[in-house]
């Protein structure tokens, strides 16, 4: 298979390196170009120990390339949500019926390094770092790199993220549909360091949420005992990142809103003032490929907001499906890419909507009794009828049911449950009337 055309992957982030592993293991020649320096020699992103929630779709992909066990060894099980009330009161909401339905907190930098190392071990894969791709010529498929010149590619894979240079070139096609939509909220990361002897200062096996209606803070555990907090807050306006710049105001805001977190955030003011404010964008486009010459994966074709923790998981699932399509159609690459887009695009459109909706659920509804009651009913139904009743969240996080199918099924289930409840109510009233008559 070594005569098969080489895939030139642009971007050695999570999706690019996983795809290199998939393709390299099948014997396809892979050239992988990344603008950042080699993470095997440079400790990148060490200042910001960002973590991600790994769930079933991502785990399945890692298992297919033989890396799941290694990743899980340095991951932290999160069994549910720990809700922090404004008075510091705690409520735990389990994600599922048992530990098979749980998320894993993993370090982005650690996982990326592991994937780079795994890709580098494959003889068919070549890695190049410090190469910033600025576009490609759609006629010749020659890639342009800043500083390092031009490289001819047979098949280009754009795994270069939400601000993809490969997609930017494809956007110049006729009839390219494109949407970028920013939230008016941005985010900022803060650190809760480990306690004495690396002790976790909050419950270790939980994803912590401070829901505050129009905004929220979350925290995920890191391997070293620390937590990475993320505050999601408006970028502009009277209560916003733009308005909150004085140290006293920062301290006052946190003391009012997150009183139980403040004692655990010794570098709060410094972190708040010096850490960058991130923005949250949803990106949709179509087509995801240019003939049989170029194709997109991950954020490059479908960036989503992070409120379902599905960005990485969906990108990994892209790699799973793209590999299946390449195997099914080789050497008809255009047919493979068309099949891949048909199998992924409708589901990623649904995911984008669900992620936007889940922001409202996380920041607002998780704090309400009605939400807790409904969640408890859903979990009870799921326990009672585990094969028949699957809550939507369960299907997204803990199954590989395609997203749009999951949404359709959830709507049906809800309709049936509502029907049964109303029917039972009527039956009860009928019986009562019959008794009292």
Q: Which of 77, 235, 381, 417 binds its own copies (CB under 8 A)?
A: 235
Applying CB under 8 A, which part among 1-9, 171-179, 265-273, 318-326 lies near its own copies?
171-179
Applying CB under 8 A, which part among 102-110, 148-156, 173-181, 341-349 lies near its own copies?
173-181
Q: Which of 73, 172, 175, 437 binds its own copies (CB under 8 A)?
A: 175
**Comparison of 173 and 327: residue with beta carbon closer to its own copies:** 173
Please report how close the Cβ of residue 240 comes to its own copies at its closest, in angstroms: 13
356 binds its own copies (CB under 8 A): no
Applying CB under 8 A, which part among 3-11, 42-50, 59-67, 178-186 lies near its own copies?
178-186
279 binds its own copies (CB under 8 A): yes
Question: Considering CB under 8 A, how many residues would be counted as binding its own copies?
Answer: 11
Please report how close the Cβ of residue 307 comes to its own copies at its closest, in angstroms: 18
Per-residue buried b or exposed e for 20-57, using 16+ beta carbons within 10 Å of the residue's own CB = bbbbbbbebbbbbbbbbebbeeeeeeeeebebbbbbbb
276 binds its own copies (CB under 8 A): no
Q: Which of 174, 369, 370, 436 binds its own copies (CB under 8 A)?
A: 174
**Comparison of 92 and 182: residue with beta carbon closer to its own copies:** 182
92 binds its own copies (CB under 8 A): no
238 binds its own copies (CB under 8 A): no
Q: Which of 163, 178, 388, 412 binds its own copies (CB under 8 A)?
A: 178
Q: Which of 134, 140, 179, 239 binds its own copies (CB under 8 A)?
A: 179
Applying CB under 8 A, which part among 146-154, 170-178, 244-252, 299-307 lies near its own copies?
170-178
Please report how close the Cβ of residue 184 comes to its own copies at its closest, in angstroms: 8
180 binds its own copies (CB under 8 A): yes
Which residues bind to its own copies, rule: CB under 8 A? 174-182, 235, 279
């Amino acid at each position: 298979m070594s005569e098969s055309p080489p895939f030139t992957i642009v971007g050695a982030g999570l999706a690019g390196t996983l795809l290199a592993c998939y393709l390299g293991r099948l014997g396809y020649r892979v050239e992988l170009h990344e603008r950042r320096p080699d993470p095997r020699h440079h400790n990148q992103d060490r200042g910001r120990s960002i973590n991600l929630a790994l769930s079933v779709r991502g785990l399945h992909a890692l298992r297919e390339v033989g890396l799941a066990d290694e990743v899980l060894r340095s991951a932290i099980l999160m069994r549910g949500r720990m809700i922090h009330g404004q008075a510091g009161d705690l409520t735990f909401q389990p994600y599922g019926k048992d530990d098979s339905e749980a998320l894993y907190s993993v370090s982005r930098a650690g996982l990326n390094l592991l994937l780079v190392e795994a890709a580098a071990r494959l003889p068919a894969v070549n890695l190049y770092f410090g190469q910033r791709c600025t576009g490609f010529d759609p006629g010749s498929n020659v890639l342009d790199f800043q500083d390092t010149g031009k490289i001819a590619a047979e098949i280009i894979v754009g795994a270069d993220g939400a601000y993809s240079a490969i997609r930017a070139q494809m956007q110049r096609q006729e009839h390219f549909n494109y949407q970028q939509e920013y939230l008016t909220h941005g985010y900022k990361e803060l650190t809760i360091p480990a306690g004495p002897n690396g002790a976790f200062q909050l419950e270790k096996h939980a994803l912590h949420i401070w829901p505050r209606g129009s905004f929220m803070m979350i925290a995920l555990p890191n391997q070293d005992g620390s937590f990475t907090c993320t505050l999601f807050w408006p970028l502009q306006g009277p209560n916003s990142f733009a308005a909150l710049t004085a140290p006293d105001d920062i301290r006052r805001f946190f003391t009012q809103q997150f009183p139980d977190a403040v004692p655990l955030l010794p570098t709060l003011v410094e972190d708040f003032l010096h850490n960058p404010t991130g923005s949250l964008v949803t990106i949709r486009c179509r087509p995801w490929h240019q003939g049989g010459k170029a194709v997109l994966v991950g954020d490059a074709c479908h960036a989503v907001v992070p409120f379902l923790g599905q960005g990485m998981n969906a990108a990994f699932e892209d790699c799973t499906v793209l590999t299946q399509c390449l195997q099914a159609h080789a050497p008809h690459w255009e047919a493979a890419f068309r099949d891949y887009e048909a199998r992924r695009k409708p589901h990623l459109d649904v995911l984008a909507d669900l992620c936007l909706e889940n922001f409202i659920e996380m920041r607002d509804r998780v704090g309400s009794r009605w939400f807790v009651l409904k969640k408890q009913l859903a979990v009870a139904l799921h326990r009672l009828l585990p094969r028949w009743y699957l809550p939507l969240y369960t299907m997204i996080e803990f199954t590989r049911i395609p997203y749009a199918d999951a949404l359709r099924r959830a709507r049906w289930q809800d309709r049936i449950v509502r029907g049964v409840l109303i029917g039972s109510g009527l039956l009860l009233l009928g019986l009562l009337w019959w008794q009292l008559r």
